[in-house]
């Protein structure tokens, strides 16, 4: 912004100076040329009178007689009627810009007085130079004024940019953004108003997350106690007890998910990275979902090199895989295959089924779903969790539905939210 202001102001100044100074310089040059011509004519008249008096007195004319009659930059030639030079003095070089005046004396001789081109040019330069110097001085003043003015105009907008970056980083207590510029003042007011609204919205969301977590934990705890009690009843068959133990595992996983989502809302989860074997984690997740898919004649399998170790947060990673496998079982077709491989710069996890590939990446937007009864939230949450882990979640290029999860080899934990 400052550079554009400087260029605009200096360019405008140069244009104004050029529009005034160039015609003025031509006018001055033409005026000086006319003045020099008149002075040369006047000098020729005076010299003609002197030479006429010498001719009447019977005195001849020599070069030495003409020299005292000249000034610097002049040339004087005295010729007879047939053009023979009787006497000459002064400069000898000729230039295209010479100003020459001739006078015919009573004795039919001719007087030729020339003001040389360099002398004329020197007079014109001396007259035009002040105009040029004034123009250059004005350009210099314009540059200084433009720099000072651009800094003063850009300073409030720089403060606004800093405030916007602080707001993006989660700092809602913005400094005062007053300015003498009405536009900057209006933007500052809007930013401070937006910061207060965002702070209030974030506070309400955190309160809701905390309340929802608390309300969920209480019935989950009660349900877990009931299930544990049922496993201890004598009337409970071994098969039912086994199913109850599986249900307890799922209940523990649900409780852990609630805790992790609450931590995610507070920005504290990703600071706790632990070593994870991706191949083992995907195998366990696939086995858990395989028991649900088997009654429908479908399978969920996982393959990958072992060990496939990285540092990540296993809870959110399991949630991503759960969303992708659930999406494949509900919206896809055929068997579901989870693959893990080292892509060199990152770990690549794919979840593929045999259904038709969605049209584009908008499937990861919230409230976008392929089913009328869907919420369109699961894939959006999975994509956000992938970004929080330092990776990404996209659609693969294959013809069937393939979700590609990229995870870094050495992830950098995201900074905690303020």
User: Quick check: 418 pLDDT over 50?
Assistant: no
| pLDDT value of residue 68 | 83
Residue 372 pLDDT greater than 50, yes or no: no
Residue 156 lies in a domain: no
The residue out of 233, 262, 291 marking a domain boundary is 262
Whether residue 235 is found in the same domain as residue 355:
no
Asked if residue 153 is part of any domain, the answer here is no
* Same structural domain, 250 and 369: no
Residue 104 lies in a domain: yes
Question: Mean per-residue pLDDT for 395-399?
Answer: 86
Residues 187 and 226 in one domain: yes
If asked whether residues 285 and 243 sit together in one domain, one would say no
Do 257 and 371 sit in the same domain of this protein?
no
Same domain, 238 and 277: no
Q: What is the pLDDT of residues 278-320, one digit of tens each?
A: 989 999 999 989 988 888 899 999 998 878 888 888 888 888 9
> What CATH number does the domain containing 126 carry?
3.30.450.250
- Give the 3-state secondary structure of the chain: CHHHHHHHHHHHHHHHHHHHHHHHHHHHHHHHHHHHHHHHHHHHHHHHHHHHHHHHCCCCCCHHHHHHHCCCCEEEEEECCCCCEEEEEECCCCCCCCEEEEEECCCCCEEEEEECHHHHHHHHHHHHHHHHHHHHHHHHHHHHHHHHHHHHHHHHHHHHHHHHHHHHCCCCCCCCCCCCCHHHHHHHHHHHHHHHHHHHHHHHHHHHHHHHHHHHHHHHHHHHHHHHHHHHCCCCCHHHHHHHHHHHHHHHHHHHHHHHHHHHHHCCHHHCCEEEEHHHHHHHHHHHHHHHHHHHCCCEEEECCCCCEEEECHHHHHHHHHHHHHHHHHHCCCCEEEEEEECCCEEEEEEEEEEECCCCHHHHCCCCCCCCCCCCCHHHHHHHHHHHCCCEEEECCCCEEEEEEEEECCCCCCCCCC
- The DSSP bridge partners found for residue 407 are 347
Instruction: Answer yes or no: do 11 and 111 share one domain.
Output: yes
* pLDDT attached to residue 306: 78
Give me the CATH number covering residue 403.
Answer: 3.30.565.10
- Same domain? For 208 and 308 the reply is no
Domain count, the chain: 3
Q: Is residue 166 included in any domain, yes or no?
A: no
**Structural domain harbouring 285:** 272-408
Can you give the pLDDT at residue 415? 43
The pLDDT of residue 108 = 85
Least confident of 64-78, 202-216, 274-288, 348-362: 202-216
The residue-averaged pLDDT of 244-272 equals 66
Whether residue 76 is found in the same domain as residue 38? yes
Q: What is the mean pLDDT of the chain?
A: 80
Q: Give me the percent of the chain exceeding a pLDDT of 90.
A: 8
What is the mean predicted confidence (pLDDT) over 120-124? 82
pLDDT score, position 265:
56
171, part of any domain = no
For residue 158, tell me if it sits in a domain.
no
Task: Say whether both 199 and 234 belong to one domain.
Answer: yes
User: Angle at which helices 2-56 and 117-168 pack, to 10 degrees?
Assistant: 170
Whole-number percent of the chain with pLDDT over 70: 87
Look at 358 and 415; give whichever has higher pLDDT. Answer: 358
Q: 10 with 130, same domain?
A: yes
On whether the CB atoms of residues 116 and 71 are closer than 8 A, the answer is: no
Query: Of the candidates 136, 167, 190, which is a domain's last residue?
Result: 136
250 and 285 inside one domain: no
């Amino acid at each position: 912004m400052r550079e554009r202001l400087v260029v605009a102001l200096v360019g405008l100044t140069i244009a104004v100076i050029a529009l005034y100074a160039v015609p003025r310089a031509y006018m001055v040059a033409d005026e000086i040329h006319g003045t020099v011509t008149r002075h040369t004519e006047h000098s020729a008249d005076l010299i003609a009178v002197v030479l006429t008096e010498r001719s009447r007195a019977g005195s001849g004319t020599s070069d030495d007689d003409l020299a005292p009659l000249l000034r610097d930059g002049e040339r004087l030639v005295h010729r007879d009627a047939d053009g023979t030079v009787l006497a000459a003095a002064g400069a000898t070089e000729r230039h295209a810009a010479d100003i020459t005046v001739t006078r015919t004396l009573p004795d039919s001789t001719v007087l030729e007085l020339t003001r040389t081109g360099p002398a004329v040019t020197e007079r014109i330069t001396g007259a035009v130079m002040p105009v040029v110097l004034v123009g250059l001085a004005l350009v210099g003043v314009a540059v200084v004024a433009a720099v000072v003015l651009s800094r003063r105009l850009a300073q409030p907008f720089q403060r606004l940019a800093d405030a916007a970056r602080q707001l993006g980083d989660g700092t809602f207590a913005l400094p005062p953004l007053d300015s003498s510029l009405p536009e900057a003042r209006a933007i500052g007011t809007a930013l401070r108003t937006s910061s207060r609204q965002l702070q209030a919205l974030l506070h309400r969301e955190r309160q809701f997350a905390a309340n929802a977590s608390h309300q969920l934990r209480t019935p989950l705890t009660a349900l877990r106690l009931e299930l544990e009690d049922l496993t201890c009843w004598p009337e409970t068959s071994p098969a039912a007890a086994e199913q109850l133990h599986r249900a307890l595992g799922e209940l523990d996983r649900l409780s852990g998910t609630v805790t992790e989502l609450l931590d995610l809302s507070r920005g504290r989860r990703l600071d706790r990275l632990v070593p994870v074997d991706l191949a083992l984690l995907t195998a366990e997740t696939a086995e858990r979902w395989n028991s649900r898919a088997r009654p429908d004649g479908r399978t969920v399998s996982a393959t990958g090199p072992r060990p496939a170790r990285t540092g990540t947060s296993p809870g959110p990673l399991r949630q991503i895989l759960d969303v992708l496998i659930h999406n494949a079982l509900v919206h896809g077709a055929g068997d579901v295959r989870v693959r893990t491989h080292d892509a060199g710069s990152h770990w690549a996890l794919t979840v593929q089924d045999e259904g038709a590939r969605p049209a584009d990446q908008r499937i990861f937007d919230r409230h976008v779903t392929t089913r009328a009864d869907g919420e369109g939230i699961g894939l959006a949450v999975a994509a956000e969790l992938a970004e929080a882990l330092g990776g990404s979640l996209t659609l693969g290029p294959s013809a069937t539905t393939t979700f590609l999860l990229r995870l870094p080899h050495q992830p950098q934990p995201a900074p905690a939210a303020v």
